[in-house]
């Protein structure tokens, strides 16, 4: 179990300068996609930092790309599908070397990152740093396009954000004493506080349309089920409790910002509802296995050994990832990502308010 804990720092989830080349005039209906978050959204930023939280080796990426890109899945992630539905190219990782034209957007997400800077500190691009990168992009856009056109561009863009899982899991998979000093409610308040401040900063730069998904039962993923004594199939309920508190606090914070921030709009996909229905009837969603990972080792293949690069060289790999909801111990398969992306794009019933992501790209 001690060796297992070494692998948990990158659950679910530096900088080089980037030249932005923008055309002097963009089409009126041009909309970009900016992405912030953790491994659920990271397309490979962690390939370019000093960390073990990487997925740039076999079998990651094998189903779609036919090579490892740094995505923690056998294929595409949610932002990849959203970009496709919006008729955008794949949104590149911010740290990818070379000169880029970011008028279609950019992805700042980093596997292992948290809303709190202390989460996996020194091994990830935390949310505060991701925000600083975005501000650099916004500044250079203003230099290239002029203030008025840059503001119009940033206000039409869509901002996907998914972060917090690592903040809630790490205290239970390390020697943290954080809950000796903070209640669960206080801790969730710190996570939501950092996230809220980031959203407000993006809003100040021009951001108006934000897309979120809440948390499902995080304590039920293979990685955490493998930690439950006796391997009874039970979930890690302390993490599930934090997820519920987070969902309630996030909804409250977003509703408040919708009132207070000028032209602020948000879309919320209720992942918890989707996962509840999936667990009851996997076949309805086209899955045969929703408890065990396709790639990994140990109970439920919950040890983070996929690819044999994290201290455990031996691992099991299923023959057909499309039958599995989870690809590795804490990340879902491409098929699952596509289903979630479709719901985020075109829901209801799992969308709060009148907006889904499709509507955002039509505004």
Q: Which residues are catalytic, by number?
A: 39, 328, 331
The Cα 335–Cα 203 span in angstroms is: 33
| Phi, psi for residue 50 in degrees, rounded to 5 | -85, 100
CA atoms within 13 A on the CB side of 276: 9
Helical H segments across the chain, by residue range: 2-6, 78-85, 127-145, 147-156, 165-169, 178-181, 184-205, 222-225, 237-260, 271-280, 334-346, 357-362
Beta partners for 107? Answer: 35, 93
What's CA 276's distance to the chain center, in Å?
20
Q: Identify the helix (H) or strand (E) that includes residue 207.
A: none
Show contacts of 146-149: CB within 8 Å, 24+ apart: 149/25, 149/26
CB distance 295 to 328 below 8 Å: yes
């Amino acid at each position: 179990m001690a060796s297992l804990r070494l692998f948990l720092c990158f659950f679910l989830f530096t900088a080089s300068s980037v030249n932005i080349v923008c055309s002097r005039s963009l089409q009126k209906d041009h909309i970009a996609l900016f992405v912030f978050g953790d491994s659920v959204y990271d397309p490979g930023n962690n390939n370019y930092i000093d960390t073990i939280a990487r997925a740039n080796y076999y079998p990651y990426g094998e189903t779609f790309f036919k090579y490892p890109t740094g995505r923690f899945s056998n294929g595409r992630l949610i932002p990849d599908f959203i970009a496709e539905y919006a008729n955008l190219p794949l949104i590149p990782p911010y740290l990818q070397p070379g000169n880029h034209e970011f008028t279609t957007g950019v992805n700042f997400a980093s596997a292992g990152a948290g809303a709190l800077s202390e989460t996996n500190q020194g091994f990830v691009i935390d949310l505060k740093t991701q925000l600083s990168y975005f501000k650099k992009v916004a500044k250079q856009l203003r230099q290239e396009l002029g203030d008025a056109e840059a503001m119009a561009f940033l206000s039409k863009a869509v901002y996907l954000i998914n972060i917090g899982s690592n903040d809630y899991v790490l205290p239970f998979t390390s020697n943290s004493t954080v809950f000796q000093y903070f209640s669960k409610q206080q801790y969730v308040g710190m996570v939501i506080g950092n996230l809220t401040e980031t959203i407000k900063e993006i809003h100040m730069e021009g951001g108006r349309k934000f897309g979120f998904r809440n948390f499902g039962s995080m304590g039920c993923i293979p990685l955490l089920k493998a930690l439950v004594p006796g391997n009874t199939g039970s979930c890690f309920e302390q993490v599930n409790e934090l997820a519920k508190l987070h969902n309630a606090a996030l909804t409250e914070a977003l509703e408040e910002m919708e009132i207070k921030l000028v032209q602020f709009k948000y879309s919320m996909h209720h992942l918890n509802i989707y996962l509840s229905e999936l667990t009851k009837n996997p076949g309805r969603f086209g899955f045969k296995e929703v408890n065990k990972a396709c790639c990994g080792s140990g109970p439920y293949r919950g040890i983070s050994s996929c690819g044999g690069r994290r201290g455990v060289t031996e691992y099991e790999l299923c023959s057909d990832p499309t039958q599995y909801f989870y690809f590795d111990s804490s990340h879902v398969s491409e098929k699952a990502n596509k289903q979630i992306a479709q719901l985020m794009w075109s829901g209801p019933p799992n969308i709060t308010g009148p907006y889904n992501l499709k509507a955002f790209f039509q505004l």
